[in-house]
Amino acid sequence: MNFQQQAELYLAIGKIDRAISLCEEFLAQHPNSAEACKTLGKALQAAGKLEDARYWYKVAIANKPDFAEAFANLGTLCATLEQWHEAISCYQKAISLQPEFAGFYRNLSRIFFPSWQSPGSCRLPVSSPDAGTQ
């Protein structure tokens, strides 16, 4: 079992602290591993350490600017914090990098239409195409 599989297994069974420790140990030897940075961000987010998670998602993106999954995870974190515009930007970037992945579109749509709202309502003001014209 490789590092990534082991860390994901720890997360899946709720051993978040162990996943964090494993990621930190791996990053001590592989500081430029975007995948490890993303996984550490995911573990920290699961632990409720949202600002630390944000930092590691951004490090993952800095190490691998075309890392769609890291952008999507950062988008999810921003949505959790109700930072809607940043969340939208992150999801749009993830979609531009990996347009075939349906999950990115689903997460983006949840910002505009949360499951508890009807499709006619939206969290953000949306301008109609002819807004401001007469």
How confident is the model at residue 38, as a pLDDT?
98
How confident is the model at residue 132, as a pLDDT?
42
Examine the domain organization and report whether 58 and 88 are in the same domain: no
**Inside any domain, residue 56:** yes
**Inside any domain, residue 9:** yes
| Digitized pLDDT (tens) for each residue of the chain, 134 residues in all | 899 899 999 999 999 999 999 999 999 999 999 999 999 999 999 999 999 999 999 999 999 999 999 999 999 999 999 999 999 999 999 999 999 999 999 999 999 887 655 555 555 544 433 434 43
CATH number at residue 90: 1.25.40.10
Distance, CA of 76 to CA of 93 (rounded, Å): 13
Q: What DSSP string describes 7-19? A: HHHHHHTT-HHHH
Chain-centre distance for alpha carbon 72: 4
**Inside any domain, residue 104:** yes
How confident is the model at residue 32, as a pLDDT?
96
Residues sharing a CB contact under 8 Å with residue 125, sequence separation 6 or more, in sequence order? none
How confident is the model at residue 126, as a pLDDT?
45
Give the count of domains, the chain.
2
Distance, CA of 49 to CA of 3 (rounded, Å): 22
**Inside any domain, residue 26:** yes
**Inside any domain, residue 47:** yes
Query: Residue 81's domain spans which residues?
Result: 66-113
Examine the domain organization and report whether 2 and 57 are in the same domain: yes
- Do the beta carbons of residue 104 and residue 69 sit within 8 Å? no
